[in-house]
Each structure stands twice: as structure tokens, then as C-alpha cells.
Amino acid sequence: MAGEPVHVNEFQELARQVLPKMYYDFFAGGAEDQYTLKENIEAFCRITIRPRILVDVSRIDMSTIILGHKTSAPIIVAPTSSHQLAHPEGEVATARGAAACNVIMALSFTSTCTVEEVASSCNTVRFFQTYVYKRRDITELMVRRAENNGFRAIILTADTPRLGRREADIKNKMISPRLRNFEGFISTEVVSDKGSNLEAYAAKTLDPSLSWKDIAWLKSITKLPILIKGVLTGEDATKAIEAGVAGIIVSNHGARQLDYTPATISVLEEVVHAVQGKVPVLLDGGIRRGTDIFKALALGAKAIMIGRPVIYGLAAKGESVVKQVIEMLKNELELTMSLAGCCTVDDITRSHVITEKERFLCRM
């Protein structure tokens, strides 16, 4: 690639060049036909921006408050697995890059660096994402470790009773990485001659009986606020509120679970309407531009989460490029706000965007 990258999409090609095919496919791939993987990104292109002119935009403030924590921009590093497959420093490098940009990082339950290593690596606000295992004591142990190490919220991933069919991982016979958080507590080694070892490990550990009643159990083992990740409908958003969660993350798991689910940006407004401002709604999936962030905020998101772009930056050159990826998005958001006539994130309103549905209705 000639010259330095000028937007975050270019880091994907750099990652492809440096990573073994098995690892690149693991990070880049989606489920089955990968329809939702493409749609997560393309759906943003069908939303247009309605800018305002002659607004004094000499000062732009992108900062916001998420669950009581002030952050420099409405950007959160999403919980993604196995960062040491991308770079030897793994989640520690990612955490430091996020801290340098003063944004929140969410650490994955299946991180390759330990909770304690990430917590001691830098001073920043961190959330912890968890699955619920058949062995509930393992989930409880991890949640308590996160709380004891200064993490500020728990994210429950609720869309994974089983692992989605990730065909690239099956073809590559993806090897489950070393998960040092679990050493001494549970074996992460699974031998399978039928495809992805990762899929075999998930089948062995994930609890398919997880249901709404278990939110109460999770709340009973931690004092931290709980966000639920994987909501795609107004009905489930309402149930989440009834269950007492502190926040909702609109997510289709990076299109890695059920294919042909809608793009997250296309269902964001449905969820926001169901929530009625009772808790913050975050959006995960498909963010590649500052204009994407702007559109999500206009449709009611409090903040967005970025996953793959951070991983690609980490693979390209570690901590420094994680920081570069986040700063690129921040700079693009700042420019978008200026050109759209919005001085603060609170100035970004529903009237600033037109969706595909609205254009369709206008033609009728």
C-alpha cells in the first residue's frame, strides 16, 4: 500500500499482509454467507446527513458521559477476543492505545492477556464483557476479578447460546488460543477433527440455558452496572429494561452469529424508541467513518463501539496504530460535526439524518 493510511479501512489490508491466514480470517470473517457482515457496513451508506449552515463551529466538543464516566468522544473499544493473535502485546497494547485517546475499553472474557495485566497496564476506564458458562463458578470468578481490578461495568453478551457457523474457521481448522485467564480453573484445550477447535470449545463451555431470569443472578454477584449486548429488537429492549440492566448494546456480534439478521444501524431506532431514554443505548457493528458515528448518534445512540478496525490497527503495528485508528475516527467525527453545524454531541439530533425508510415513504 503506497503512503500512510488516511482512513481506517486501509488498516484491514495491512493486517491481511502481516497475519497468518487462519488469524486474519478469524478476525475478518462472519457467519455463513456473510450477508450481515456486508450489510453492517453498507447500511450506513443508505443514511444521508442534513447539515446546518452558518453555525459558529469554532469550538467543537466531542466529549460525553457514559454511565457516569466522562470520555473524550462517544467511542468505546468493543470487546473482541484473542488480541495476542494479532500482536504479541495483545490487549495490553489495545488498552494503552485507548487510554492515550481517553476513551473507554471493553475487555473480552476470552482475552489472551489476563484481567490483572490489562488493569495494571494503564489508568483508564474499562468495562468487562462476560459470557455465562455452564460452570457458573467460572463466570462468577471472572466477574469478581474484573470488579476487584477496577473495571467499571459488566457487559453480558446474550446472543451466544451456541457459536455461529463461521465457515472460514471451520475450513482453517481454527485453533483455540491460549486463554490465560482460565488457567488453573478450566481447560481451554479441545481436540476436534471436525473443523474449528474454537467451535468445539464453545460447545463445551457456553450455557445454552441462559435466559432472562439469569440477569438477576448476574446482578447478585456484582455491584457493577450491567449492560446487555446482542439486542436487535424493541421487544428484547423492553425485556432488558424490565430485567433492570443499566444499558443496552445494539449488536449482532459483528455478524459472527446468526447470518441474515439486520444491520445494527437499521434497528437502532427501534431499540431507542422501546427504551424511551431509561438507559443509554450503544451501537456496535459496521463503524468505519466519523460520519457513521454521527449517524448513529443522530438515531439515538449514546456512543458507538469499534471492534475490527482496532484489531486491524493492532495487527499492523501495535499500540501506536490502535491510537491512530481511534484518533482518525475522532478527527473525522469532529470534522463531520463542524460541517453539519453541531458544536457538541448533544447538538446532533434526529433531524440531522434521513434514513432509507424515510426516502421510501417520501416517494409514496
Instruction: State whether the Cα torsion 260-251-198-138 is positive or negative.
Output: negative
Rg of the chain, C-alpha, whole Å: 20
69, 253, 273, 352: which is the annotated catalytic residue?
A: 253
Q: Is 131 annotated as a binding residue?
A: yes
Residue with cell 456512543: 303
Element holding 191 (H helix, E strand): none
Q: Are strands 69-71 and 64-66 parallel, antiparallel or unpaired?
A: antiparallel
User: What does the block give as the cell for 274?
Assistant: 422501546
User: Is 285 labeled as ligand-binding?
Assistant: yes
| Residue 195 assigned to a binding site | no
CA dist., res. 128 & res. 52, Å (int): 38
229 annotated as a binding-site residue? yes
Question: Any known ligand binding at 324?
Answer: no
Query: Binding residue per annotation — 251?
Result: yes
The answer to the question of whether 157 is labelled as a binding residue is yes
Consult the annotation and say whether 287 binds a ligand. yes
- Cβ atoms within 10 Å, residue 24: 22
Question: Which grid cell sits at 296?
Answer: 448513529
Q: Are strands 48-49 and 69-71 parallel, antiparallel or unpaired?
A: unpaired
Please check whether residue 315 is in contact with residue 293, taking contact to mean a CB–CB distance below 8 angstroms. no
Residue 83 is a catalytic residue: no
**CA angle 268–273–275, rounded 5-degree value:** 95
Judge contact between 140 and 112, C-beta under 8 A: no
Helix axes 290-298, 319-340, angle to 10 degrees: 60
Report the sign of the C-alpha dihedral through residues 162, 163, 165, 169, in that order.
negative
The answer to the question of whether 307 is labelled as a binding residue is: yes
277 has binding-site annotation: no
**Residues within the annotated binding site?**
108, 129, 131, 157, 166, 229, 251, 253, 256, 284-288, 307-308
**Residues within the annotated binding site for glyoxylate?**
131, 166, 253, 256
**Residues within the annotated binding site for FMN?**
108, 129, 157, 229, 251, 284-288, 307-308
Which sequence positions are flagged as catalytic? 253
